[in-house]
Every structure is written in structure tokens, then in C-alpha cells.
């Protein structure tokens, strides 16, 4: 971390000179030129930011293996030995296993629901002319820019009156509803790009609309479904605001809430090492999945902004 | 294609639209209605009170503080994040060493490595990131002050989140940290699609790196930058700022209301203070700010679209 802060000004100055005045910089070796200096400069700043990104994550991993006393006395020292018991305590005593299970159930249910309902609505909106088509489309898309917190105040009571407060299936329905705007927006654009001829041929051959959709159009839309699926998976897995408002039963908490709960209440006997183990436990699956499916994840997350 | 068309349309739209109307559209409409009542949220009874909540809001100092912080978030965060991201993306795409006979500009070696690493925070939950940094900022045993002590700056030990004049900036820094990578990847993809001939002819004409950036790269990326700006602003006004402020700051929103934001204030009024109607009033203000922000950015940023 020392290196991340001190050298920043130096390359910044030399880089600015190079790019603004554009004087060829004489170099003893005779190798020219601007390109080389710029190259060193760009690697310099890029590495500094890379270190700034990675250091907090590595620090968390390291801390999760330390004893409580050394976390407080020397935050940067390496663990004296690897305290795997932190992880075991977090998993069992601190209910991380329950939080994981709840999260998997909620995200699994809502991801499937979002993709099915979202692609059904998007397909109809993209491919059929009917009165109100544009209105419904903008109703969905408008949901992307509205502050969700405004709706959450009455929503809490809507959900409560339906007896869905603090239930897994209630949370799933709400997750689906709030994932629909982006999903419909993205998939409508995607269905429009697919050729119409295949579906028409199927229809001429006597397939119903429903059958055409499930057997012809959905398989063709697979790349779009994967992108929007990854986008929704990460959004729902990392969701914090919706469960904080609608899911206050300690037994039903999802990962993000559970961790915050542990940290804030400190009800966990001031067991900071266990908390760090929990944090790392929650980080690793997503980071691992990201590294494996790197290309698809980047595509899925940036797809919306590039449209 | 007419046979059974409408039955099919209704059948396919009913479920998604019904769910969306019930859980999203209807609550939005309700909340605007509730902002004219004295509903507490605790009992089902309430009566209309006209603009009383709005009058109260105009005289509420904490509301004005929250509004100020939210506006600061919406202006500063996109500015800092997008500038940094453009800078890094430019370095990744043109910072390469020039090879003999090679193209005039080229990406740095290991560009995909940088992009992978920069994207890390984007896949993590903002809640986890906020928790992690809350520990790093701890004045006594946190990672940051410990570094300062380590490099001989033992006398400089800020309270970070405990200092009313610093806390808001600490919170913003975390959001910058976690979102820069997303925009680097986004802009990088855009820059890679700009034809190299454009750069080559600019370099031949004697343009420096800065000139090529401001005259070529930025105008051609303008659409992406603009939508990125709106996206970041909406996040900064809404869910992201709620998570970081609620998790990291004391109070939350403290110390001394120095970090409170509109979205947090809505939450506290509704679910802590039992003033649901007043909460929806502040929510309506947040809605107005969000829509105005998006409209202004789209309006100011309007330019002729460049084709290439």
C-alpha cells in the first residue's frame, strides 16, 4: 500500500508534459520516444489502481485468518498461523450457512421467474402490434429511473397485507417485479434483432404462438438470456435495499443483510475475525464465478449501457 | 398470424404486467397519494391534510441537508468516476509501446489483466464493500490509519467516518472505488471500436495525446459517456448511496447529519419514526430530483451523433 500513494504525483507530471507539450523526450539509449515514456507512465498509473483495487480484498482474506487480538493490534501483520476456526465459527455459530441457503433459494426462484416472465413480456412487446403496446413498454422501462425507495414505503404494507412479509416466496415475487424493467427493456431490443422468418415458417406449419415462442424463439434468444441472466443474478445476489425493508425476520435474512446484522449489532460477541471470515465467504463465490465466466459477466453487465 | 393473437398477447402479458403493476406501479401511485395524508404507517386510519407535509418539508433542516448531500453525490460521483475511468481506459487503449511497422497507437500489454482486476468490485455487493471499508476507516485499528502510522505519519490520524467534515467524502470514495472498473471496461470497449486510422491521421497532423483524446476519443464516445453519467447519477441518488451511508456511518447518517442522504431519510422516517406519509413526501422530492437530473444531463449532453 505504501507504493500506491507516494509515486502517483511523479508519473502524473511527466505524463502531463508529454501529452500536452508533446516534446520528444531525449533518452540516453537513443531509443525513441514519446511512445516509451507514455508506456511507462500508463503502466505506472494502471498498476497503482490495480493495487488499490486488490489490496482491500487481500487484506480482508488475510484478516479472516487472524486472531481477534492481532486484528486490532496490528492490522497489516500476517497471521501468526492460519486460524481456520474463524471460518468454521462463521459458518455455524454466526448462521452464515442459513444466510447462504436463504440467498440461494431467493435468487434461484427470482432468477428463473424473472427470465420466464421477462422474456414472455418482451417477446409480445417486440413482435406484436396491439393498442397500448408502446404504453406498456414505457411503463416497464420507466421503472428503471424511478427511485425504488419511494415505492418501498407503501409496498411494505401491500406485502404485509398479503401475508408475504418475511417470507421467501414474497421476497422472490418482489425481486422479480423490480428486475422486470431492465429485463424487458433489454430483451425487447434483443427479440427485435432476431429474424422473423423462422417464427413465421413455424406458424405456417401449424405451431401455435405459445409453441413457437417456447420451441423456436427462446432457444434463438439464448445469448440475450445469458447476458440478462448474469446481470440479474448479480443484482439479486447482491441486493441489499429490498430485503432490508421487506425481510426483517432474523431467520429469513439473506447474505448481505446477515453480514451487516452481524457487524452492526456486534451481537456476535465482538468476534471480528469470524465476521471477516463471513465477509470473505460471501465474496469468494461471486469473485470465483466472475473469474471463470469473465467474458460473459462483462458482457452481461455492460450490455445495458451500450444499448 | 391473426389466429388467436389477442388471446396469446393477453395470456403472455397478464402475469408479468400484473406482478409489475401490483408491486411497482401501484405503490408508486399510492405513495404520491399518501404524501397528502397524515398516515403514520402504524395504524390504518388517516385523513387528507393537503400540502401540510410539503410545508413541513420546506422547513425541515435535515431534509435540506439530505438534499444537499444527495445533489453532491449526483454531481461529484459521476464526474470523478467517469473522469478516472476515461483516463484509465485511454491509458489501456493507447498507452502501448510503439513497435516498428506497427500501428501508430496500441494498447498496453496486459490490458485484459487490468480490465479483469478493475472489474472485481463491480461483482461484489455494495453492502459487503461498505462493511469492508467501514473497518478500514476505523480510527484506532483500521487499515488506513495503520498505514499512516507505518509510514511515519503517526501524528496524522483522522477520525474518518467519525469526523463530520470528512465522513461524506469517505463514503463517496468507497462508491468511486467500487464503480470505476465498470466504466473502464465500458469505455474501453467503446475506444477499441474507434478505427486506428483516425488516430494515425491525427498523429500525422501533429496532434499530441491530449489533443487526440479531446478531439477524437471523447466526441466519439460521447453517447456512452452520457448514458453512463445518467446511470451513475441514478445509482448515486438511490440504492447505492442508501447501502453505503446506512452501513458505514454512525447514526446512520451521522455524525451530526453530515452524511444523511434523501433515500436514507425516507427510510428512517417510514420505518424508524413511524411517519410514513412524511416519508413519501420526501420520496416525492427524491423522485423530482432524480427525473430532473436525468433530464438535465440528457439535455446538456445533446450533440449531433457522430458516425464512424
Question: Measured between alpha carbons, how far is A205 from A33 in angstroms, rounded to an integer?
Answer: 67
- Going by pLDDT thresholds of 50, 70 and 90, the confidence category of residue B96 is low
Least confident of B22-26, B65-69, B129-133, B192-196: B192-196
Helix and strand numbers, DSSP H then E, in chain B: 14, 0
End-to-end CA distance of chain B: 39
What ipTM goes with this model? 0.86
**Is residue A113 over pLDDT 60?**
yes
Q: Calculate what percentage of chain A has a pLDDT beyond 90.
A: 18
Helix and strand numbers, DSSP H then E, in chain A: 17, 0
Whether cis (ω within 30° of 0) applies to the bond prior to B255 is: yes
pLDDT score, position B39: 86
A147 touches chain B (CB under 8 A): yes
Least confident of A98-107, A127-136, B39-48, B215-224: B39-48
Q: Which tens digit of pLDDT belongs to each residue from B137-166? A: 887 777 788 778 878 777 777 788 888 888
Q: Which residues of chain A does B268 touch, with a Cβ-Cβ cutoff of 8 Å?
A: none
- Going by pLDDT thresholds of 50, 70 and 90, the confidence category of residue B250 is confident
For the packed helices B111-123 and B167-192, what is the interaxial angle rounded to 10 degrees? 140
Question: Measured between alpha carbons, how far is B42 from B63 in angstroms, rounded to an integer?
Answer: 22
Cβ contact B24–A45 (<8 Å)? no
Three-state SS at A50: helix
- Going by pLDDT thresholds of 50, 70 and 90, the confidence category of residue B100 is low
B291-296: average pLDDT: 88
The shortest C-alpha distance from A85 to chain B (Å) reads 20
Question: Measured between alpha carbons, how far is A7 from B69 in angstroms, rounded to an integer?
Answer: 32
* Partner B, chain A 257-286, Cβ-Cβ below 8 Å: 257, 259-260, 263-264, 272, 276, 279, 282-283, 286
Domain ranges of chain B: 59-300
A91-306, CATH topology level: MetI-like fold (1.10.3720)
- Going by pLDDT thresholds of 50, 70 and 90, the confidence category of residue B172 is very high
**In a mutagenesis test of the A interface, which of B8, B20, B181, B231 is the best target, namely the one with the most A β-carbons within 10 Å?**
B20
pLDDT score, position A14: 39
**Is residue A289 over pLDDT 80?**
yes
Least confident of A210-224, A291-305, B69-83: A291-305
pLDDT score, position B104: 62
Cβ contact B131–A279 (<8 Å)? yes
The shortest C-alpha distance from A229 to chain B (Å) reads 14
**Is residue A34 over pLDDT 60?**
no
The shortest C-alpha distance from A20 to chain B (Å) reads 6
pLDDT score, position B108: 77
pLDDT score, position A175: 93
Three-state SS at A93: coil
Domain ranges of chain A: 2-63, 91-306
Least confident of A108-117, A270-279, B24-33, B110-119: A270-279
- According to DSSP, residue B48 is labeled B
- Going by pLDDT thresholds of 50, 70 and 90, the confidence category of residue A30 is very low
pLDDT score, position B122: 87
* Cα dihedral across residues A120, B238, A233, B298: positive or negative: positive
C-alpha cell at B227: 448514458
Q: Which residues contact A295 (CB under 8 A, 6 or more apart)?
A: none
Q: Which residues of chain A does B1 touch, with a Cβ-Cβ cutoff of 8 Å?
A: 200, 203
- Going by pLDDT thresholds of 50, 70 and 90, the confidence category of residue A6 is very low
B183-201: average pLDDT: 84
More confident residue, A10 or B104: B104
Q: Which tens digit of pLDDT belongs to each residue from B41-54? A: 777 788 888 888 89
| DSSP character string of A224-265 | HHHHHHHHHHHHHHT--HHHHHH---GGG--HHHHHHHHHHH
- Going by pLDDT thresholds of 50, 70 and 90, the confidence category of residue B22 is very high
More confident residue, A231 or A77: A231
Give CA separation, B251 vs A150, B259, B260, in Å: 21, 10, 9
B59-300, CATH topology level: MetI-like fold (1.10.3720)
Question: Measured between alpha carbons, how far is A133 from A188 in angstroms, rounded to an integer?
Answer: 12
- Which of these, B134, B157, B5, B180, lies nearest to A212 by C-alpha position? B5
- Going by pLDDT thresholds of 50, 70 and 90, the confidence category of residue A15 is very low
Q: Which residues of chain A does B142 touch, with a Cβ-Cβ cutoff of 8 Å?
A: 75
Q: Following CA atoms A52, A53, A55, A60 in sequence, which dihedral angle do they give, to the nearest 10 degrees?
A: 140
Question: Measured between alpha carbons, how far is B238 from B261 in angstroms, rounded to an integer?
Answer: 9
B28 touches chain A (CB under 8 A): yes
Q: Which tens digit of pLDDT belongs to each residue from A147-170? A: 888 888 889 888 888 888 888 899
Question: Measured between alpha carbons, how far is A175 from A114 in angstroms, rounded to an integer?
Answer: 8
**Is residue A98 over pLDDT 80?**
yes
B114-132: average pLDDT: 89
Least confident of A269-278, A280-289, B265-274: A269-278
Q: Which residues of chain B does A34 touch, with a Cβ-Cβ cutoff of 8 Å?
A: 209
**Is residue B63 over pLDDT 50?**
yes
Least confident of A10-24, A57-71, B204-218: A10-24
* Partner A, chain B 55-84, Cβ-Cβ below 8 Å: none
Question: Measured between alpha carbons, how far is B130 from B247 in angstroms, rounded to an integer?
Answer: 6
C-alpha cell at A253: 435474512
**Per-chain mean pLDDT for chain B:** 85
B106-128: average pLDDT: 85
* Cα dihedral across residues A298, A277, A89, A102: positive or negative: negative
**In a mutagenesis test of the B interface, which of A51, A53, A153 is the best target, namely the one with the most B β-carbons within 10 Å?**
A153
C-alpha cell at B139: 480510527
Angle at B176 between CA A54 and CA A283, to 5 degrees: 45
pTM: 0.84
Three-state SS at B228: helix
pLDDT score, position B79: 92
A151 touches chain B (CB under 8 A): yes
Cβ contact B286–A149 (<8 Å)? yes
Cβ-contact A159, A167 below 8 angstroms: no
Q: Which residues of chain A does B96 touch, with a Cβ-Cβ cutoff of 8 Å?
A: 35, 39
- Going by pLDDT thresholds of 50, 70 and 90, the confidence category of residue B81 is very high
Cβ contact A146–B287 (<8 Å)? yes
Amino acid at each position: 500500500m505504501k507504493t500506491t500513494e507516494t509515486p502517483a504525483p511523479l508519473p502524473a507530471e511527466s505524463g502531463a508534459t508529454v501529452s500536452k507539450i508533446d516534446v520528444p523526450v531525449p533518452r540516453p539509449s537513443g531509443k525513441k520516444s514519446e511512445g516509451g515514456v507514455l508506456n511507462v507512465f500508463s503502466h505506472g498509473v494502471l498498476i497503482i489502481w490495480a493495487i488499490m483495487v486488490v489490496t482491500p480484498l487481500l487484506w480482508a482474506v488475510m484478516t479472516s485468518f487472524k486472531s481477534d487480538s492481532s486484528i486490532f493490534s496490528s492490522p497489516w501483520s500476517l497471521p501468526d498461523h492460519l486460524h481456520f476456526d474463524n471460518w468454521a465459527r462463521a459458518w455455524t455459530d454466526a448462521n452464515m450457512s442459513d444466510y447462504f441457503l436463504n440467498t440461494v433459494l431467493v435468487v434461484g426462484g427470482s432468477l428463473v421467474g424473472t427470465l420466464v416472465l421477462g422474456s414472455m413480456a418482451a417477446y409480445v412487446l417486440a413482435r406484436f402490434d396491439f393498442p397500448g403496446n408502446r404504453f406498456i413498454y414505457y411503463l416497464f422501462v420507466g421503472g428503471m429511473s424511478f427511485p425504488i425507495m419511494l415505492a418501498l414505503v407503501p409496498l411494505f404494507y401491500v406485502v404485509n397485507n398479503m401475508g408475504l412479509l418475511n417470507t421467501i416466496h414474497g421476497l422472490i415475487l418482489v425481486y422479480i417485479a423490480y428486475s422486470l424493467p431492465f429485463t424487458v427493456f433489454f430483451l425487447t431490443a434483443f427479440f427485435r434483432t432476431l429474424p422473423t422468418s423462422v417464427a413465421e415458417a413455424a406458424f405456417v406449419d401449424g405451431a401455435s404462438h405459445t409453441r413457437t415462442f417456447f420451441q423456436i424463439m427462446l432457444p434463438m434468444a439464448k445469448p440475450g438470456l445469458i447476458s440478462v441472466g448474469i446481470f440479474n443474478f448479480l443484482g439479486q445476489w447482491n441486493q441489499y435495499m429490498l430485503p432490508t425493508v421487506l425481510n426483517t425476520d432474523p431467520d429469513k435474512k439473506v447474505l448481505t443483510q446477515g453480514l451487516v446484522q452481524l457487524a452492526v449489532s456486534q451481537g456476535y460477541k465482538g468476534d471480528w475475525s469470524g465476521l471477516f471470515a463471513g465477509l470473505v465467504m460471501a465474496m469468494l463465490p461471486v469473485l470465483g464465478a466472475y473469474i471463470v465466466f469473465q467474458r460473459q459477466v462483462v458482457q452481461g453487465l455492460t450490455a445495458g449501457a451500450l444499448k | 398470424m391473426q389466429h388467436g393473437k389477442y388471446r396469446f398477447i393477453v395470456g403472455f402479458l397478464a402475469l408479468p404486467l400484473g406482478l409489475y403493476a401490483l408491486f411497482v406501479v401501484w405503490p408508486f401511485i399510492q405513495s404520491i397519494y399518501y404524501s397528502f395524508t397524515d398516515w403514520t404507517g402504524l395504524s390504518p386510519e388517516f385523513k387528507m391534510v393537503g400540502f401540510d407535509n410539503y410545508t413541513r418539508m420546506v422547513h425541515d433542516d435535515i431534509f435540506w441537508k439530505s438534499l444537499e448531500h444527495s445533489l453532491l453525490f449526483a454531481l461529484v460521483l459521476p464526474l470523478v468516476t467517469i473522469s478516472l475511468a476515461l483516463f484509465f481506459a485511454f491509458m489501456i487503449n493507447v498507452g502501448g509501446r510503439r513497435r516498428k511497422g506497427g500501428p501508430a497507437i496500441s494498447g498496453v500489454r496486459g490490458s485484459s489483466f487490468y480490465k479483469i482486476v478493475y472489474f472485481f468490485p463491480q461483482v461484489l455487493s455494495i453492502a459487503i464493500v461498505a462493511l469492508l471499508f467501514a473497518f478500514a476507516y476505523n480510527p484506532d485499528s483500521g487499515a488506513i490509519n495503520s498505514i499512516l502510522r507505518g509510514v511515519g505519519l503517526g501524528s496524522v490520524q483522522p477520525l474518518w467516518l467519525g469526523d463530520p467534515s470528512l465522513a461524506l467524502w469517505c463514503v463517496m470514495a468507497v462508491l468511486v472505488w467500487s464503480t470505476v472498473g465498470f466504466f473502464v471496461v465500458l469505455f474501453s470497449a467503446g475506444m477499441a471500436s474507434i478505427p486506428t486510422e483516425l488516430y494515425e491521421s491525427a498523429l500525422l497532423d501533429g496532434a499530441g495525446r491530449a489533443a487526440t483524446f479531446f478531439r477524437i476519443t471523447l466526441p466519439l464516445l460521447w453517447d456512452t459517456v452520457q448514458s453512463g453519467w445518467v446511470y451513475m447519477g441514478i445509482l448515486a441518488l438511490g440504492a447505492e448511496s442508501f447501502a453505503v451511508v446506512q452501513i458505514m456511518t454512525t447514526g446512520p447518517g451521522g455524525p451530526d447529519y453530515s452524511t444523511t442522504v434523501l433515500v436514507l431519510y425516507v427510510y428512517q422516517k417510514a420505518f424508524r419514526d413511524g411517519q410514513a406519509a412524511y416519508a413519501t413526501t420526501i420520496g416525492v422530492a427524491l423522485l423530482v430530483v432524480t427525473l430532473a437530473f436525468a433530464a438535465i444531463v440528457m439535455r446538456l449532453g445533446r450533440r449531433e451523433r457522430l458516425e464512424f
